[in-house]
Amino acid sequence: MGKAGRLRSGAARKLQRWRKGHSSDSNPESRRHRLAARSRFFSRPAGERGSDLTVDALKLHNELQSGSVRLEQAGQGSQLRMEEDDDDGAAVTEKSSHTFLSGLSDCTNVTFSKVQRFWESSSAAHREICAVLAAVTEVIRSQGGTESETEYFATLMTTLEAVESPESLAAVAYLLNLVLKRVPGPVLIKKFSDTSKVLMGIMASQAGSGPSSALRWVLSCLATLLRKQDLAAWSYPVTLQVYHGLLSFTVHAKPKVRKEAQHGVCSILKGSEFLFGDTAPMHHPAAQSTARFCVQEIEKSGGTKEATTTMHVLTLLRDLLPCLPLAMVKTCCETLLRVMTLSHVLVTACAMQAFHSLFSAKPGLACLSAELNAQIITALYDYMPSENDLQPLLAWLAVMEKAHSNLARLQWDLCWGHLPRLFTAAVSCLLSPHPQVLAAATQTLKVLLSECVAPHMAELGPVSASVSGPASHVCRMFRAVEEGLTYRFHAAWASVLQVLRAFFEVCGRQCHPFMRKCLQSLCDLRHSPHFPHTSELDRAVGAAVARMGPEVLLQAVALEIDGTEETLDFPRSWLLPVIRDHVQGSRLSFFTSYFLPLAATLKSRAVELAQAGKSLESKIYDTLQWQIWTMLPGFCTRPTDVAASFKGLARTLGTAISERADLRLTVCQALRTLISKGCETDAERAEVGRFSKNFLPILFNVYSQPGDAGGSAADRRAVLDTIRMYLTITEQQMVCGFLEKASEKLTGPESTEFTRLSILDLIVAMAPYADEPSLATLYRTIQPSLQSKERGVQKKVYRVLEEVCAAPRPPCQAFVRSHLEQLKRDLLGSLQSAASPAKRPRLKCLLHIVKQLTGGAWLGPWGVLDRMAHAAGLFCGSGLSGGCSGAGAG
């Protein structure tokens, strides 16, 4: 690279520099690019020679301008038709200074907005389209037309019969294809015979060799014309004859023609207008004849000609099968299965795509019955590829997955009867050397469990060890997956564990009796040396814990920890963190009866070892008992026996909070989880709230203790959060009693600053849940502290008022209304005396009061809104923008 700001040698002489004083000129003398753009706009692009129009286009234009075509009003006045004028007299024309593109550039019909972009194109076909549109538009205008779709349709149909060259024919057919989609249906129904005759004639003449553009657009026009016909028209032989003419091009040798014909057939069978009416038939009248045509073409071509025609028909069937009647679907499926026996790779792939499309469309019983679906599933097992055939096996798995999902939608118990065989086949695919097959087989099994099994597990009910009925199918599926834990599948163990995890999540709650042996195998597998998939195995066992519960897991796999071990191996200790991370919806009584005694035993063992000087062994046992306690929040997540079992656990939890600082965070988290996620009924909330008289004093005392006795800052925050949560289910009378005692301690002479701040934190938490008299007493108690010199105390007093003013409970709102004058005097008069930390809660108090005032009918008598807004403005103007923004955010 050269240096910045330097030019190559000799380049400076070639540059055109601005003359002095002219660097800001907006219109320089050199306008080469502007002139080129202007020439392209008003005439042909530069470099083009000869006329703007081809000879044929000029001939057509002259014929149209000569008046040989005339538009007349039909009897109703709304429908226009086109007639040949037998009179050879000169038509009335007028000279114009317009260019040849005048009818194109100012065409008012939005149908041709796409064509108006073609005039800049260098393509000869695009130029021909522009010329034809311009000529047709001029003809319509010269005869007083309004440039409606019907007028364009009539003019283009007459033009279609007049043109001779393939280029002009293609251009007219393209424009006709555009306008037909917007022509009113009654017009096309009335003109069906004439229009179809013209289109069929052109289609027959263009069917041979030569350019395919005109044929493509004629086929599209024909499809649009047939799609607009009503149901009665399809009872006439001529309509079916025209349709079969279109259908014959679906196996044409030219790809674009064939694609256009297939698209047209699909649009007719799926999108005809009468199919969306109130009296719509179940299937299109031409569906049966279409299916017969496809079957005949397949049988006629067979495996000859490299099966080209067969693949073309299979491509058409891929889109048409879901809209055929049941009998025709059965016939077509039998034909598909027969051609798959040819062992032609491409034919088999196309047939698989057709089956996949059929099942993915989820058709109704009128198209695909449950019995036929099951028969197709059974037949497809004869075409299961080898484990080493990558692409065919992936296609087979995808088809079987969709087939079973659709069968489950139609008849789930019949689907369950077919699932064990597919599970066995899919598990055998895990032996494939291709990782894509492993991923596809795993995904197929997981999808089948989620779509076919999971929605109907509630109908299954509890399952005993001796399974029977539908549960036997689930057992066979599980045994097939469990077979993947053998050493033969060791390369795919990660995939097997994913499927087992999905199985536990879907069926674990009902089907755990026959899954216990698998849990034992998983635990034994984890102990094997150098096992590489411990994380996947832990997630699988965790899914079993979440669905079956830890009680079922520990019945199948013993924890092997009792505090009397001679060695410190603890081979099953890995279960403790797995249970902690996944337990939910279990029984509190199981934690109380099994884990609490075990934790106490391990704690005693740790103390004994510490006293004996064995600090390492003591630490191990202490860690184990701590891990057991960390399970408690999980047991408090949606437990099933809160009302019956919490009373047996409450005393232990209270003791742990007050005496075990190492467990305080865990127990507080468990209480918050129990209140927020475990108390779902009024009875459960009442049962847990009944112990607030025990827990709240303990929590108050722990929070109010200074130094190490109260724990770290994180411990104190956890305790305060637990207090706030417990207050939500505490009776109001009890809250008022606690609030009164806290107010007395706040004004006590022996209270330190730490004590006052701690008590104020508790009052902030309790105030929103008190009644109006208690709030009035509290206000009189803290009112002198609004002028306190202790900045922390003043801030927390304002925080008390903020919580009361912001609370939506009726007692708090009644207190604000009854003490509005005092609040106004205190809040507006303390602007100068408020310490910096207190200004934010003070402003938020004003904000909440204003919100209540603006929402009530008692705004006017006090005239307080303006003064509060003025005070807030003074506050914001004092440079304390942080307080204002914080208040607004609050």
Q: Give the pLDDT confidence score for residue 403 in this predicted structure.
A: 97
Q: Give the pLDDT confidence score for residue 80 in this predicted structure.
A: 32
600 CB burial (10 A radius; 0-12, 13-18, 19+) = middle
Q: Give the pLDDT confidence score for residue 836 in this predicted structure.
A: 83
Residue 545's identity, in one-letter code, is V
SS3 84: strand
The 3 state secondary structure assigned to 513-545 is HHCHHHHHHHHHHHHCCCCCCHHHHHHHHHHHH
Report the alpha-carbon distance of residue 787 to residue 794 in Å, rounded: 7
In the predicted model, what is the mean pLDDT of the chain? 84
How many Å is the Cα radius of gyration of the chain? 43
Q: Which two tokens stand for residue 11?
A: 């380049």
For residue 75, pLDDT beyond 60? no
Report the alpha-carbon distance of residue 266 to residue 168 in Å, rounded: 28
Q: Which two tokens stand for residue 646?
A: 């919490």
Q: Give the pLDDT confidence score for residue 555 in this predicted structure.
A: 94
758 CB burial (10 A radius; 0-12, 13-18, 19+) = buried
For residue 414, pLDDT beyond 90? yes
pLDDT tens-digit map of 553-580: 999 999 999 988 888 889 999 999 999 9
Q: Specify the higher pLDDT residue, 91 or 744.
A: 744
pLDDT tens-digit map of 425-468: 999 999 999 999 999 999 999 999 999 999 999 888 777 767 77
Complete DSSP assignment for 777-791: HHHHHHGGGGG-S-H
Complete DSSP assignment for 153-176: HHHHHHHHHH--SHHHHHHHHHHH
List Cα–Cα distances, 474 to 351, 404, 485, 526, 809, in angstroms. Answer: 31, 15, 18, 25, 53
Helices (H), 325-389: 326-340, 345-360, 370-380
Report the alpha-carbon distance of residue 784 to residue 212 in Å, rounded: 96
Q: Give the pLDDT confidence score for residue 63 in this predicted structure.
A: 59
For residue 22, pLDDT beyond 90? no
Q: Give the pLDDT confidence score for residue 460 in this predicted structure.
A: 81
Helix (H) or strand (E) holding 70: strand 69-73
Contacts 24+ apart (CB under 8 A), 190-193: 190/79, 191/81, 192/225, 192/229, 192/233, 192/239, 193/238
Give the closest residue to 218 by CA, choosing from 243, 235, 199, 245. 199
Q: Give the pLDDT confidence score for residue 711 in this predicted structure.
A: 67
Q: Give the pLDDT confidence score for residue 855 in this predicted structure.
A: 61
pLDDT tens-digit map of 687-705: 999 999 999 999 999 998 8
Report the alpha-carbon distance of residue 404 to residue 453 in Å, rounded: 11
Q: Give the pLDDT confidence score for residue 92 in this predicted structure.
A: 35
For residue 106, pLDDT beyond 80? no
Report the alpha-carbon distance of residue 214 to residue 210 in Å, rounded: 10
Average pLDDT estimate for 638-662: 93
- Residue 5 φ/ψ region, left for φ over 0, alpha for ψ in the -120 to 50 degree band, beta for the rest: left
Average pLDDT estimate for 477-482: 95
Average pLDDT estimate for 349-358: 95
Q: Give the pLDDT confidence score for residue 278 in this predicted structure.
A: 85
Q: What is the DSSP letter of 385?
A: P
Report the alpha-carbon distance of residue 751 to residue 763 in Å, rounded: 15
Q: Give the pLDDT confidence score for residue 69 in this predicted structure.
A: 42
User: Which residue(s) pair with 80 in the sheet?
Assistant: 73
Which range (176-180, 413-417, 459-463, 855-859) has the least confidence?
Answer: 855-859
pLDDT class of 164 with cuts at 50, 70, 90: confident
Average pLDDT estimate for 617-638: 95
User: Which residue(s) pair with 70 in the sheet?
Assistant: 83
Report the alpha-carbon distance of residue 553 to residue 544 in Å, rounded: 7
Answer for the pair 812, 775: CB distance below 8 angstroms, yes or no. Answer: yes
pLDDT class of 47 with cuts at 50, 70, 90: very low
Question: How large a percentage of the chain has pLDDT more than 70?
Answer: 82
Average pLDDT estimate for 57-64: 60
Answer for the pair 643, 691: CB distance below 8 angstroms, yes or no. Answer: no
User: Which residue(s) pair with 84 in the sheet?
Assistant: 69
Average pLDDT estimate for 414-435: 95
Average pLDDT estimate for 108-123: 75
Helix (H) or strand (E) holding 596: helix 596-611
pLDDT class of 627 with cuts at 50, 70, 90: very high
Average pLDDT estimate for 411-428: 95
User: Which residue(s) pair with 73 in the sheet?
Assistant: 80
- Tokens 């708090």 belong to 812
Q: Specify the higher pLDDT residue, 343 or 241.
A: 241
Give the closest residue to 790 by CA, choosing from 728, 834, 734, 849. 834
Q: Specify the higher pLDDT residue, 377 or 309.
A: 377
Residue 754's identity, in one-letter code, is F
Residue 73: phi and psi, rounded to 5, are: -80, 135
Beta-carbon count within 10 A of 832 CB: 7
Helix (H) or strand (E) holding 83: strand 80-84
Answer for the pair 69, 82: CB distance below 8 angstroms, yes or no. Answer: yes
Q: How many CA atoms lie less than 13 Å away from 320 in the CB half-sphere?
A: 33
List Cα–Cα distances, 309 to 215, 249, 255, 263, 323, in angstroms. Answer: 20, 11, 12, 17, 22
Sign of CA dihedral 843, 845, 851, 855: negative
Q: Give the pLDDT confidence score for residue 70 in this predicted structure.
A: 41
Q: How many CA atoms lie less than 13 Å away from 356 in the CB half-sphere?
A: 14
Answer for the pair 262, 293: CB distance below 8 angstroms, yes or no. Answer: no
For residue 260, pLDDT beyond 90? yes
Report the alpha-carbon distance of residue 650 to residue 669 in Å, rounded: 14
Report the alpha-carbon distance of residue 253 to residue 308 in Å, rounded: 9
Residues in CB range of 404: below 8 A, 6 or more apart: 377, 415, 418, 419, 422, 448, 452
Answer for the pair 677, 636: CB distance below 8 angstroms, yes or no. Answer: yes
Answer for the pair 485, 496: CB distance below 8 angstroms, yes or no. Answer: yes
Q: Give the pLDDT confidence score for residue 878 in this predicted structure.
A: 42
pLDDT tens-digit map of 489-528: 999 999 999 999 999 999 999 888 899 999 999 999 999 9
- Tokens 């999971």 belong to 454
Helices (H), 26-79: 32-42, 55-65
pLDDT class of 25 with cuts at 50, 70, 90: low
Q: What do you get for the CA distance between the two ends of the chain, in Å?
A: 57
pLDDT tens-digit map of 717-727: 999 999 999 99
Sign of CA dihedral 789, 792, 793, 799: positive
CA 642 centroid distance within chain? 36
Report the alpha-carbon distance of residue 225 to residue 199 in Å, rounded: 10
Q: Which two tokens stand for residue 732?
A: 């109001």
For residue 99, pLDDT beyond 70? no
Answer for the pair 489, 442: CB distance below 8 angstroms, yes or no. Answer: no
pLDDT tens-digit map of 192-240: 999 999 999 999 888 876 778 889 999 999 999 999 999 999 999 999 9
pLDDT tens-digit map of 838-856: 888 888 888 888 887 776 4
Q: Give the pLDDT confidence score for residue 441 in this predicted structure.
A: 97
